[in-house]
Structure 1
């Protein structure tokens, strides 16, 4: 083939809709076809001489380098897919057909823009994955983590926040928040994101801010721009009951510029995400109700048994000890008779609060019925520790209880059981502590007794 034929062939490649790319062993573009401007937004001379990894979306760089190493090791890849950041900051999905020329020490590849098809596929997959996650994950933190991963397949989401709105207390919470710049000034950054979300929740409208947009960063979110944020995208989480929060994506220098297209994508899946969050929150409330006393919000008898069984298993494995305090309230019936059951309920709630404050966070305070409470103490090895806890529990009753203006005094009768001295099963220990409590009540009317049986 003569020189003229080569020149003609080169002009033909410039007519191709796909871009021919040639990369050296260090990853630098040495040639790229004219179609690159349509696909990547750059002219060929703007890409030649630069490393290809600079143009790859940050989330895809690691696996892109792995693929490049495999190709240079002699394994052709006809269908490798990744994402590039266009010159205008938009994300483009590319399918590569690439192989290595050992003789020339060059990687030759053809790039095809598959953005439209890929986004349609990803949107359907995202809806399915969100629905699956709502049923499969055990709790809300697990769901938020899954949602982050799902969104990350749909659009760049290195920095992702789930912000929920507490309508009762009119405040925002950040149950899930990942941001690479948080180490700089996390309090200020979260405050700025909160201000951003308040507007989204109030208006129930998505919001897109960017350094390349007019009036890009209002004063209340300018701290995000100071941290090199180039684009911030937020959408409301709408349900039939109203807006429960917002999803926020933040892109920094070197990342994508979110556009109306990304806003539409995120908004498209946000309703499904809001439904999944509501479903998981309802499940959590039902689980809590099933295992907690409605009046005091303490663990109920069923949850106490579960925790006691788990504690016994741990104590057996670790050759440890645990103790139970079983108590009821002397004078509770008189409060009910004199002031009514409403006052009795207030008394039980205040007792629950004081008992919870008297023990460690790792201990369990449960109400198992009427005026009966049980305290499960784990990892207590010395009698002095038990005595100290009992004194704190008794001290919780030193001050009078104010029940809607009525000052009343009640005292506890306490029975104690220890593992393994008084049994190695939950029912044995509870029965022992119960008997000890009744013995203390009968002997002292206001006592504490460990019943050795």
Structure 2
């Protein structure tokens, strides 16, 4: 009866989605469950006798060996993550739990493929900080970068500027050609804005057809105005979107740190007001914020 139960348990191991592995003291696989083929791409026969470390992604080998040594020293391992290279060359993320059998001189481990989980987590982290349509930083990431820049500038006396950009003629394009064309237009406009600034600057889409630009370490309001005009010119050049030639323009408000605000709220408000002044004056132009006293 006992032998039958043990046989059933061994058969049940091959029903598991996780891989059960047994590794000897020299680091070779001596037994693996059937799930190894789905996770690692090797059959059970191919894996037995193979050095475990040979399957590990080279960048993860050193810390994997350190972890394995800890297990063999009698410290069970829980939820250790590393990356393996499948037989087909694909890299998979693996979560391990392992323990050491001193009497048998064997390492017993369970491996779970967490590749899809890691990809989903990375996607969620990306969406929390970036605009899904344009790939630009979203409002949350922009505000973080603005706060960091303001803190640094307050310490070293440098200046930054904000550009608040709103498209003048976006709604008619959306109404005439549809939202799909409108989305493609926004992507092209985002690329044009990004192409006008430095790598150290940040371009963000904060909603609809509104963009903001953080000009990091700007030497004067005139420099910010010059760049804003370059962006205006770039945006109003004709665009070919889904075989349609369309043209939009932009109203841009400019706010300079200290002169037009000392914190994120003041600066955004000043740039926003300046943008609306440009729009009310007919659009397709840039306006600097009105100087106020901020203490």
1:44-87 Cα offsets, whole Å, 9 max, x none, are xxxxxxxxxxxxxxxxxxxxxxxxxxxxxxxxxxxxxxxxxxxx
Aligned position for 1:397? 235
In the alignment, which residue of structure 2 is the partner of 1:353?
Answer: 191
How far did 1:362 drift?
Answer: 1.6
1-structure distance, mates of 2:158, 2:93 = 50
Among 152, 176, 194, which residue is 2:65 paired with?
A: 152
Residues 211-261 of structure 1, C-alpha deviation per residue, up to 9 Å, x if partnerless? xxxxxxxxxxxxxxxxxxxxxxxxx6378xxxxxxxxxxxxxxxxxxxxxx
Cα distance in 2 for residues equivalent to 1:200 and 1:395: 53
What TM-score, normalized by structure 2, do the two folds share?
A: 0.64
How is 1:175-324 mapped onto 2 (pairs within 5 angstroms)? 200-201=87-88, 237=92, 271-272=111-112, 275=114, 278-324=116-162
Separation of aligned partners in 2, 1:401 and 1:452: 33
> How far, CA to CA, are the matches of 2:235 and 2:197 in structure 1?
14
Which one of 200, 219, 225 corresponds to residue 381 of structure 1? 219
Shift, 1:383, TM fit: 3.4
| Contact 2:143-2:264 within 8 A present in 1 as well | yes
Are the structure 2 counterparts of residues 384 and 432 from structure 1 closer, same or farther at C-alpha, using a change threshold of 3 Å? closer
Bigger CA radius of gyration: 1
Gaps of 5+ in 2: 1-22, 29-56, 70-81, 95-106
Residue 423 of structure 1 aligns to a residue whose secondary structure is coil
RMSD, matched Cα: 3.2
- Aligned counterpart, 1:439: 277
More contact order relative to length (CA 8 Å, sep ≥ 6): 2
Instruction: Tell me if the contact between 2:225 and 2:254 (Cα under 8 Å) persists in the aligned partners.
Output: no
Match of 2:259 among 403, 407, 421: 421
In structure 2, the residue corresponding to 1:441 is in which secondary structure?
A: helix
- Deviation digits for residues 417-449 of structure 1 (CA, Å, limit 9, x no counterpart): 010111111011001000000001112322110
Runs of 4 or more, structure 1, over 4 Å off, are 115-120
Name the CA distance, whole Å, in 1 between partners of 2:205 and 2:246: 21
Number of paired residues? Answer: 216
Unaligned runs of 5+ in 1: 1-114, 121-143, 156-161, 165-196, 205-235, 240-264
Q: Tell me, in whole angstroms, the C-alpha distance in 1 between the residues paired with 2:92 and 2:289.
A: 57
Tell me if the contact between 2:83 and 2:92 (Cα under 8 Å) persists in the aligned partners. no
